[in-house]
Amino acid sequence: MPYKEKKVEKLYFSIGEVAEMFQVNSSLIRFWEKEFDIIKPKKNKKGNRFFTQQDIESIRLIYHLVKERGLTLSGARKKIKENKEDTNNNYEVIKTLTDIKSMLLEIKESL
């Protein structure tokens, strides 16, 4: 049986890496951290923030609501508070459909 290396996944991401993922400023991530209680990054003794995968998923949901759907911060906060699971499921469906669309467009271009 051949040796297979495990895929290495990062456990923590710096605020700069998270900001780069979403193509926003670090200050926006810090602002959202204050506004939304679902973002709780770990902090070291120096105060540097380290975001987990769960934090990134929460930021992705907030980004979707605020930047893509155009909700206000209070509207996004209310939507998450009322029914986070439903909101998250809707986002996942939209993400899956967008991925399928891009894959089909790639197939169309290759034909």
Query: Tens of pLDDT along 68-109?
Result: 888 899 988 888 888 777 777 777 888 888 889 989 999 889
6 pLDDT exceeds 70?
A: no
Query: Tens of pLDDT along 16-50?
Result: 999 998 999 999 999 999 999 889 999 999 989 99
Q: Over the range 29-56, which residues count as b (16 or more CB within 10 Å of their CB) and which as e?
A: beebbeebebbebeeeeeeebbbeeebb
The pTM score is 0.73
Question: Domain 13-110 is of which CATH architecture?
Answer: Orthogonal Bundle (1.10)
Query: Tens of pLDDT along 45-65?
Result: 998 999 999 999 889 889 988
